[in-house]
Structure 1
Amino acid sequence: MSVAEPRRIVIFRHAKADWSQETDHERPLAERGRLDAAAAGRRLAETGISFDLALCSTAVRTRETWKLAVHELPHRPRTVYEERIYEASPGELITLLNETPEDVRDLVLIGHNPGVHGLADILAGSVEGDAGSRMNRHGFPAASFAVLTFDGSWKSLEPAGGTLVDFWAPFE
């Protein structure tokens, strides 16, 4: 792939977790979360994006979210479970994205707030349509995702380097 071709990043927040007695990292999805994760997967399928790579936090709720969402996609991408996503800041997530192999065009990152919302805000140097107002109005709720595009290599991705082209939340 040429670095001149636009790349896409989908920043996907895990679905609603249960407030069980488990440690935070081990919290499973709530029933509503399981339903919303599948709905998010159906909406991701509707975008027509064929992901080359999924980077997923190792937390139970993110792994369960991705398992339910990816089942709805026509193509299952290679998935890497990355512990650095758990509790990551937007800057740490950008560093992780900078390590993406150059043959990856479309990537989905499944993570946690406040990092994922911050990442979407920081990367969006421009916005198409009302995606930005919808994202900020809703506050990046559980099972929502933002779609951003950018030109260039993964190593060159930096703040304000992308365009926010879509935002979806389960109640829209």
Structure 2
Amino acid sequence: MHELILLRHAEAVPIETSGDDQQRPLSAHGKQEAQAAGRWLAAHGVRPERVLSSPARRADETARFALAEMTGAPAPQLATEIYDASPGELLALLDQHGDSGTLMLVGHNPGIERLVALLVEGRSDEFRGMPPGALAVLHLDGALEPGNARLDAFWSP
């Protein structure tokens, strides 16, 4: 893997509206955020070869709305490991997909933002910086290890 796109799910409806955290859909604003993220990726020539998404409805919808903005984008693969994952668990999942040149992972905080910090800064404690719908594009030279990535781009709606 040479490039990693980490996308936090866009804005979802409050849990009080749906009653089940796993089934919370995107809000109307969240749909716009996800589409904008896809347009940003397309405009900057960043196209994933493989997409892994949390099975939570808001993450899956984020992936699908974002990918719909790109020509020839792959369909997302649901990965149950992403929901409520720690940075270490996300690293283990990414290791299984190291054969992909550009991989996109769509998930949740705090795992996503802490994974960015771990890969770029070598630490993952109490890092805050990925609002809903935000994405980070990381470049990897060599192994998928803490502190071994470069943050090439960060975008937030």
User: Normalising by the residue count of structure 2, what TM-score does the alignment of the two structures yield?
Assistant: 0.90
Q: Which amino acid aligns with 2:31?
A: R
Other-structure match for 2:148: 161
User: Which of these residues, 101, 115, 139, is aligned with residue 111 of structure 2?
Assistant: 115
Other-structure match for 1:16: 11
Aligned with 1:88: secondary structure? coil
Q: Which amino acid aligns with 1:35?
A: Q
Are the aligned partners of 2:41 and 2:47 in contact in 1 as well (CA < 8 Å)? no
- Residue 78 of structure 1 and its aligned partner are, at CA, apart by 4.4
Unaligned runs of at least 5 residues, structure 1: 1-5, 127-135
Other-structure match for 1:3: none
Are the aligned partners of 2:13 and 2:27 in contact in 1 as well (CA < 8 Å)? yes
Other-structure match for 2:47: 50
- Give identity over the alignment, percent: 39
Unaligned runs of at least 5 residues, structure 2: none
User: Normalising by the residue count of structure 1, what TM-score does the alignment of the two structures yield?
Assistant: 0.83
Aligned with 1:124: secondary structure? helix
The structure 1 segments of at least 4 consecutive aligned residues displaced by more than 2 Å after TM superposition are: none
Superposition RMSD on alpha carbons, in Å? Answer: 1.6
CA distances 1:85-124 after superposition (whole Å, capped 9, x unpaired): 000011100010011142x100100000000000001101
What pairs with 1:32-47 in structure 2 (closer than 5 Å)?
A: 32-47=29-44
Are the aligned partners of 1:8 and 1:147 in contact in 2 as well (CA < 8 Å)? yes
Q: Matched residues in 2 for 1:77 and 1:149: separation?
A: 20
Q: Which amino acid aligns with 2:138?
A: L
Aligned with 2:146: secondary structure? coil
- Answer with 74-83 or 51-60: which moved more: 74-83
What pairs with 1:1-172 in structure 2 (closer than 5 Å)?
A: 7-19=2-14, 20-102=17-99, 104-125=100-121, 139-152=129-142, 156-170=143-157
- Residue 53 of structure 1 and its aligned partner are, at CA, apart by 0.3
- CA 1:75 to 1:165, structure 2 compared with 1: closer, same or farther past 3 Å? same
Q: Matched residues in 2 for 1:112 and 1:44: separation?
A: 19
Are the aligned partners of 2:95 and 2:144 in contact in 1 as well (CA < 8 Å)? yes
- Residue 51 of structure 1 and its aligned partner are, at CA, apart by 1.3
Q: Matched residues in 2 for 1:21 and 1:125: separation?
A: 37
CA distances 1:5-55 after superposition (whole Å, capped 9, x unpaired): x71000000000001233111111111101111111100111212211001
